[in-house]
Amino acid sequence: MGLEAGLGEALRTDYFLLREEFTPAQLDYLERTRRFVQEEVLPVINGYWERAEFPWPLIKKLGGAGLVGGIQGYGCPELDPLSAGLVTMELNRGDGSLGTFLGVQAGLAMRSIAMLGSEEQKQRWLPDMARLEKLGAFALTEPDHGSDSVALETTARRDAESYVIDGTKKWIGNGTAADVVVVWARHPAGLPRHQAHGRHRGHPHLRRHRHHPEPHRRPGHHRRIRVQRRRCVNHHDQPSP
Ligand SMILES: Cc1cc2nc3c(=O)[nH]c(=O)nc-3n(C[C@H](O)[C@H](O)[C@H](O)COP(=O)(O)OP(=O)(O)OC[C@H]3O[C@@H](n4cnc5c(N)ncnc54)[C@H](O)[C@@H]3O)c2cc1C
């Protein structure tokens, strides 16, 4: 479905003629995402909403569509910030859970690894994450700390060549499905800075519970995560600047 179609669905509405300022590449991202939503998402998403089930087949197709990235290199498609916003806008038009999924995967998890990860971590995770063959989560919010995230209580204590992480996180998108979880924790020195820790699926100190789904995001997965005395080897841990 091109940008010209959709008369009667208000999809052509562009009161401020914003589309005239888009580059051909930006228009292409908008058009491709719109087509994906029309052809793949809208015909099936209501059933996932009814069952409160995550649409895994759509994730697989989205991974092959070359729409997940916004990071230079590492096998990521070259989306500039406007293109990334257009992709997010269109995906959310189809379904808010898919939009949230993309925001967590590309905006939070991948970007954290790109900004703060070691070269080895970037090589290891980003190409697979851009294809959605590996999923990421971003664990900042805690049961007692949301907007005031700077007051987070999860600790990262240095122990020889490792860090030991202890704390609870809440509302973590992709929390159960993620292959890697970026956990934000405080160093006991009490400095107002955080450390990002790559955490892997399936280790014994990660407990995940699903929240009751919100009405508008029933297909989404949001988790409460208990990180109990998790030991991370030092070379996987990157202090923030
Ligand atoms: C669908 C969903 C997905 C999420 N995914 C993630 C995720 O993947 N990872 C993650 O870490 N977190 C995630 N979150 C958590 C989200 O980031 C927090 O909900 C958010 O930070 C707000 O925190 P809170 O819910 O504790 O609200 P609060 O911080 O308690 O805020 C409640 C209200 O008070 C207002 N308020 C707060 N402080 C002030 C102030 N100082 N001055 C004036 N007003 C104030 C806020 O604007 C808000 O209206 C998710 C949340 C949702 C709903």
109-164 pLDDT per residue, tens: 999 999 999 999 999 999 999 999 999 999 999 999 999 999 999 998 888 888 88
Residue nearest to atom 24 of ligand 1 (CA): 146
CB of 101 sitting under 6 A from ligand 1: no
Among the listed residues 40, 48, 89, 90, the one whose alpha carbon sits nearest the alpha carbon of residue 213 = 48
Summarize pLDDT for 179-225 with one digit per residue, the tens: 999 999 998 776 544 444 455 554 445 555 555 555 555 566 666 77
Q: Kindly report the average pLDDT of the chain as a whole number.
A: 83
Which residue, 8, 14, 61, is CA-closest to 35?
A: 61
Q: How far is the CA of 157 from the centre of ligand 1 (A)?
A: 26
| Spatial CB neighbours of 194, under 8 Å, sequence gap ≥ 6 | 152, 184, 185, 186, 240
In eight-state DSSP terms, residue 73 is S
Contacting residues for 89 by C-beta, under 8 A, at least 6 apart:
none
User: What distance in angstroms lies between residue 109's CA and the mean position of ligand 1's atoms?
Assistant: 18
Domains of the chain from N-terminus onward: 18-130 (1.10.540.10), 136-239 (2.40.110.10)
Q: Which of 69, 100, 102 is nearest to 222 (CA)?
A: 100
95 backbone dihedrals φ, ψ, rounded to 5°: -165, 130
Name residue 113's beta-bridge partners.
none
Q: Which residue has the higher pLDDT, 54 or 8?
A: 54
Which residue minimizes the CA distance to atom 46 of ligand 1? 147
The single-letter DSSP state of residue 22 is S
